Each structure stands twice: as C-alpha cells, then as structure tokens.
Amino acid sequence: MEARDWRAQKRDATRRRLSDAAFALFDERGYEVVSVGDIAHAAGVSVPTFYAYFRTKEHVVLPEQDLGWIHDHFADQPTELDLTERIRRGLHAMVADLPPRTTDDLLRRWRLVLAVPALRLRAVDREHASSGVLAQALGIDLATSGGAADTVVVSACLTAATTAFLRWAATGGEDSIPALLDDAFVALRSI
C-alpha cells in the first residue's frame, strides 16, 4: 500500500510539474508557439513522458474530466425538479466542491480558453463528453422522444455553463461562478 501511495504521489508531482511548466511557457511565449517538446524539456521529462500524462497540448489546459465526480453531483439532484434546474443545481454543487487552488488553476485555464480558438474547440469536446454522463446521471433515455428532447436541454445547459466560465475568465475571476451560472440559466430559460 505504501509503495502505491508513493507512486501516486510521484505521478501527481510529475503531472503538476508538466502543467506548471506549460503554463509558465504559455505566459512567457504565448500558447500557440509552445510545443509539447518545449513543455517536456521545461519540466525535465521526455516527450513520451508528456504523452503518458496528456493526450495533447490542449489537454494540459483542459484535461480529461473526472466523469464519475460529475455523475455524482448530478445524480444527487432531486428528481421532482425540472431538468434545467437539476442541472443548474448540479453545476453549483460542483463549483462548491472545488478546492481554492483548483479555482486559481481553473481561472488560468479558462483565460487561455477565452484567448485561444483551438481551446474553445476543446471546451466543446468536453461539453460533448459531459452530456452523456449527465444524461445517464439524470436518467435520460435517448431512445425515447422525451429523452431526445431532454438531451437537447442537457446540451443547451452545458453550453450555458461554458458561456458562464468564459464570462468568468473575461472578468478576471472578479464575478462569482455561481452568479454567472445563474445569469446564463436565466438567459437560457428566456428563450
């Protein structure tokens, strides 16, 4: 057990070193001109080691999501609420569970997403990955006509959430994420 903990700590430290090196280079040179080789060199690892931790450079900024963690926050929402409200509340629960250091990392990540078109495409990919998990957590069956309509609602809600995070980045983190999520959902409901 102790050896496994040591290995996990080493993996976490390497991932953090790669991430920190990448963001330092992005700040110094700009996202577009930094290569995977640059990141690996700055972190003191090989390029294959980089790829053991991240699929692409975009994944350093927007890494794979913990889909189980996402599922848990939405599966716990009261089923008597309408679908949009269940999703809004699930998003609030996720934001409330973020540790402070994660919030700082999140802001620097979303500021890059706001500035770099390729990263906005990566954000859309994450929305698509999340939509399937949300559909499952919320008991949506795509095979039914009601499930198909609910899937459209899930996608619209995730787009509203992405918009809230982009707006948060545009304010430099000054506005609260929950308030921006609420604004986005008010706009969504007004359609």
Domain boundaries, the chain: 2-60, 62-189
Residues 6+ apart with CB under 8 A from 164: 177, 180, 181, 183, 184
CATH code for residues 62-189: 1.10.357.10
How much is the pLDDT for 1? 47
At residue 171, what is the residue type?
A: T
CATH 3.90.1300.10 is the classification of domain 2-60: no
How much is the pLDDT for 2? 58
Q: Spell out, as residue ranges, where the chain has pLDDT lower than 70.
A: 1-4
Matching residue, tokens 């499930």: 147
pTM of this structure: 0.87
Cα within 13 Å of Cα(112), Cβ side: 26
Helix (H, G, I), strand (E, B) or coil at 108: helix
28: left (phi over 0), alpha (psi -120 to 50) or beta: alpha
Distance CA 19, CA 53 (A): 10
Helix (H, G, I), strand (E, B) or coil at 99: coil
Query: Which ranges constitute the DSSP H helices of the chain?
Result: 2-29, 36-43, 47-53, 58-61, 67-75, 83-96, 100-115, 117-137, 145-170, 177-189
Q: Long-range contact list for 90-96, CB < 8 A, 24+ apart? A: 90/134, 90/137, 91/157, 91/161, 91/181, 92/178, 92/181, 94/69, 94/70, 95/177, 95/178, 95/181, 96/178
pLDDT tens by residue, 78-116: 989 999 999 999 999 999 998 877 888 899 999 999 999
**Closest to 166 in 3D by CA, of 115, 92, 114, 126:** 114
How much is the pLDDT for 3? 57
Six-digit token pair at 76? 């716990």
